[in-house]
Amino acid sequence: MIETSVVLLAFALFLSLAVERVMEIVRAWEKYYEAKNNTHEKWNRRALKIRANADAQLNNIRSNNFTLVQLFLSRYFVYQDSGQGKVIAISADAVRTTCVSAFYKLIAIALGILLAFVFDIDLFALVMSLHPNENKLDSIIEKYAWLQWMAIPATGIAIGLGSGPLHKIITALERARKNRSQVTS
């Protein structure tokens, strides 16, 4: 007989894969729309706004935070610095890539949370079912009641982030089960 926790875990993995595939289809449609409607000017305007905001920030901050702003710009946007605290250019393509990626990741997380609520999937309950004899986890959840409120949204976030993070959770749970069986034998 298959354990309920295994079925729940398999279903959560299925949902995470489904969310990934749906987001890939939506992204492909969006790329087609952008190519057909030539939306480059929109991203150029957005890059100019970011450049103006970055220049204003660089002019207003102290020298010790200057490298923090430069680090942020270099991490998320391809940019050139004039060496005098002025941003010369920010890549519109990098702005587009960053904004679109963040937008779709947020949509996927929201979809994952919605699915977790609809199907009442709770990975914390799964962990507790794998460790029925340990009162430590029960006492932690009883002590911090807000964890019960966060269980389903946290599961939804894991589903929305995709199969990679969910696979890491599965691996950790599998490792915990093996460690538990080695301790009891």
Cβ pair 12, 173 in contact under 8 A? no
Token pair of 75 as six digits: 């991490």
Residue 65 in this model has a pLDDT that exceeds 90: no
Per-residue confidence at 151, pLDDT binned at 50, 70, 90? Answer: confident
Residue 24's pLDDT is what? Answer: 92
Instruction: Encode pLDDT of 83-127 as tens digits.
Output: 655 666 777 787 888 888 889 999 999 999 999 999 988 877 776
Q: Domain range for residue 175?
A: 4-179
Instruction: Encode pLDDT of 155-178 as tens digits.
Output: 899 899 888 887 787 677 667 667
Residue 2's pLDDT is what? Answer: 57
Strand blocks (E) in 71-153: 79-81, 87-90
| pLDDT, greater one: 110 or 45 | 110
Euclidean distance between CA atoms 101 and 176, whole angstroms: 34
Specify if 184 maps to a domain: no
What's the distance, CA 133 to chain centroid? 33
Element counts in the chain: helices (H) and strands (E): 8, 2
Answer yes or no: pTM beyond 0.75: no
Cβ pair 19, 111 in contact under 8 A? yes
Specify if 185 maps to a domain: no
Number of independent structural domains in the chain: 1
Specify if 170 maps to a domain: yes
Cβ pair 152, 116 in contact under 8 A? yes
Residue 1's pLDDT is what? Answer: 43
Per-residue confidence at 77, pLDDT binned at 50, 70, 90? Answer: low
Residue with tokens 């029925």: 132
